[in-house]
Amino acid sequence: MASGNAIRGTRVGAGPIGESERGESAPRRRVSYWCARGHESNVSFAVDAAEPETWDCPRCGFPAGKDSQQPPDAPRNEPYKTHLAYVKERRSEADGEAILAEALARLESHRTTP
């Protein structure tokens, strides 16, 4: 039942991969980060690399910090605002009434003009 394919499951040019071919790996240290949901992430850094203060939690995406007792706060998502909500932030109710009256007057003048 042998199909004659002795190198099944390997690719052409593949050979043994070991430290001698890749070179030595850099010395590493592990740093723990905790997010607001209590997830712990162990991240590996080179010994001479600077470690960031925060790291994104791979489980929930919240920012994680080095202090397990006081992790960074979860980000606040602002609710979606409609165009009308942005307009109401910029204009008062009286401004809106004046603009509406002006627009209605313009429409009325177009209707009466032949």
The pLDDT tens digits of the residues spanning 93-110 come to 999 899 999 999 999 988
Shared-domain flag, residues 61 and 33: yes
Whole-number pLDDT of residue 112: 77
Residue 38, C-beta contacts closer than 8 angstroms, at least 6 positions apart: 71
In a domain, 71, yes or no: no
Q: What is the reported pTM? A: 0.52
Domain membership of residue 61 as a residue range: 26-65
Q: Is 2 domain-assigned?
A: no
Helix/strand/coil percentages in the chain, nearest 5 = 30, 20, 55
Beta strands 54-56; 28-35: pairing state: unpaired
11 inside domain:
no
Please indicate, yes or no, if residue 76 is contained in any of the structural domains.
no
Count: domains in the chain: 2
